[in-house]
Structure 1
């Protein structure tokens, strides 16, 4: 849905960058309301076609997505964590810094998956 709104905003000559960043912090009803307020109107989006074969909604994972999810779930979790495909220290640092800026006492973790090829990553 955020990408569909961004396309509409761009077609109207508006900058979609702020929308894409802000939408990470919104629920779906909040996104619909904000999109309308920005002049995108009722954006068509087929919620069922976005599901995977297993029935799950697809997400576009990113460090920013993980940060916003961690902040949103912090009140309900002892610890929050991020899992990545590669052990990238700068990514883990960004996650920790930005989550701690909002919830300073939240316990954080990083997936130290045995599937990582630590030697190849230079760690």
Structure 2
């Protein structure tokens, strides 16, 4: 839905960048209301085609998306984490820094998956050990 609204805004000559950033912090009803307020009108979006075969909505994951989701769940969760495809220290640092800025006492976790190709990460053995 955020991308569909961004396309409409761009077609009207509006900057969609702020919308895309702000929409990360909104629920679906809030997004629909904000899109209309920005002049996008009633944007067509097939909510059912966006579902997986299990019935879940697909998302466009990103570090920023995970940060906002972690902040939203912080009041209700003992710890929050972000699943990543590779062990990227800068990504983990950004997640931790931004979540802690909003929820200073939130416990954080990291998926130190054995399925990562740790040797291809570019880290030394010492860096891997302290990661």
Tell me which interval the TM-score lies in, with the shorter structure as reference length: over 0.9
Worse overlay, 52-61 or 25-34: 52-61
Aligned length: 123
CA distance in 2, matches of 1:95, 1:3: 23
Structure 1: 5+ residue runs without aligned partners? none
C-alpha displacement of 1:43: 0.5
**Equivalents in 2 of 1:26, 1:120: separation in Å?**
37
Deviation string, structure 1 residues 33-78 (Cα, Å, up to 9, x no partner): 1001100010010100111222221111100010000000001100
How does the TM-score come out when normalised to structure 1?
Answer: 0.97
Instruction: Choose 1 or 2 for highest CA Rg.
Output: 2
Separation in 1, partners of 2:52, 2:107: 32
Distance in 1 of aligned mates of 2:53 and 2:81: 27
Residues 74-94 of structure 1: CA distance to partner in whole angstroms, max 9, x if unpaired? Answer: 011000001100000000000
- Counterpart-to-counterpart distance in 2, 1:13 and 1:79: 42
Contiguous gaps of at least 5 residues in structure 2: 123-130
Runs of 4+ in 1 over 4 A off after TM superposition: none
TM-score, length-scaled by structure 2 = 0.91
Cα RMSD of the aligned pairs, angstroms, is 1.0
